[in-house]
Copies of this chain bind each other. A is one copy, B any other.
Amino acid sequence: MKLASLKSGRDGQLVVVNRALTHCVPVPHIAPTMQAALDRWSATEPLLRKLAAALESGKQSDARPFDARECAAPLPRAYHWADGSAYVNHIELVRKAHDAEMPASFWTDPLIYQGGSDDLLGACDDVPFVSEEHGIDLEAEVGVITDAVPMGITPDEVPPHIVLLVLINDWTLRNLVPAELAKGFGFYQSKPATAFSPVAITPDELRDAWREGKVHLPLASFVNDQPLGQPNAGVDMTFDFHRIVAHAARTRRLGAGTIVGSGTVSNVDRSTGSSCLAERRTLEVLEFGTQRTPFLSFGDRVRIQMRDAAGASLFGEINQQVVSFHPPPRLAKDSHG
Residue ranges of A at the interface with B (Cβ–Cβ < 8 Å): 10, 39, 77-80, 82, 85, 103, 105-106, 109, 111-119, 128-130, 134, 150-154, 156-157, 173, 176, 179-190, 192-193, 247-248, 250-255, 257-258, 325, 327-328, 330-331, 334-335
- Closest Cβ of chain B to A333, distance in Å, is 11
Given A80-B118, A154-B331, A176-B251: 14 more A-B contacts, CB < 8 Å: A79-B79, A80-B116, A85-B185, A105-B179, A112-B188, A118-B254, A119-B254, A130-B152, A156-B334, A183-B184, A188-B248, A189-B250, A189-B251, A193-B253
Are A334 and B154 touching (Cβ within 8 A)? yes
| Bound-complex Cα distance A179 to B77 (A) | 30
Q: Kindly report which residue of chain B lies nearest to residue A9, judged by CB atoms.
A: B39
Question: For A114, what are the chain B residues with a Cβ–Cβ distance below 8 Å?
Answer: 113-116, 186, 188
Q: For residue A190, which residues in chain B have a CB less than 8 angstroms away from its CB?
A: 251
Q: Which interface residue of A113, A153, A182, A254 has the most chain B CB atoms within 10 A?
A: A113
Copies of this subunit: 2
Contact A258 B118 (CB under 8 A): yes
Which residues does chain B contribute within 8 Å of A112, judged by CB atoms?
185, 188
Partner of A186, one of B80, B113, B134: B113
Measured CA separation A6–B232 after assembly (Å) = 48
The 10 closest A-B pairs by CB, nearest first: A186-B186, A118-B255, A79-B118, A80-B118, A181-B184, A113-B185, A114-B114, A192-B252, A192-B251, A77-B79
Let me know if B251 and A331 touch, CB within 8 A.
no
A1 to chain B, nearest CB (A): 23
The minimal Cβ–Cβ distance linking A238 to chain B, given in whole angstroms, is 14
Query: How distant is the Cα of A129 from the Cα of B253 in the complex, in angstroms?
Result: 11
- A335 touching B187 in the complex, CB below 8 Å, given contacts A80-B116, A173-B251: no
| Residues of the B chain whose Cβ atoms lie less than 8 Å from the Cβ of A250 | 130, 189
Interface pairs (19), CB distance under 8 Å: A10-B39, A77-B255, A80-B116, A80-B118, A109-B179, A112-B185, A113-B185, A116-B252, A118-B254, A118-B257, A119-B254, A130-B152, A130-B251, A150-B331, A152-B327, A152-B331, A186-B187, A190-B251, A192-B251
Closest chain B CB from A124 CB (angstroms)? 18
Contacts of A106 in B (CB 8 A): 183
Contacts of A255 in B (CB 8 A): 77, 118-119
**Interchain CB contact under 8 A, A153 and B331:** yes
Q: Judging by beta carbons under 8 Å apart, are B189 and A186 in contact? A: no
Q: Which of A114, A187, A254 has the most CB of B within 10 A?
A: A114
**CB of A259, distance to nearest CB on chain B (Å):** 10
CA separation between A173 and B151, bound complex, in Å? 15
CB distance from A157 to the nearest CB of B (A): 7
Chain B residues with CB under 8 Å of A251's CB are: 129-130, 134, 173, 176, 189-190, 192
Q: How far is the CA of A283 from the CA of B254 in the complex (A)?
A: 35
* A129 / chain B contacts, CB cutoff of 8 Å: 251
- Nearest residue, chain B, Cβ from A180: B184
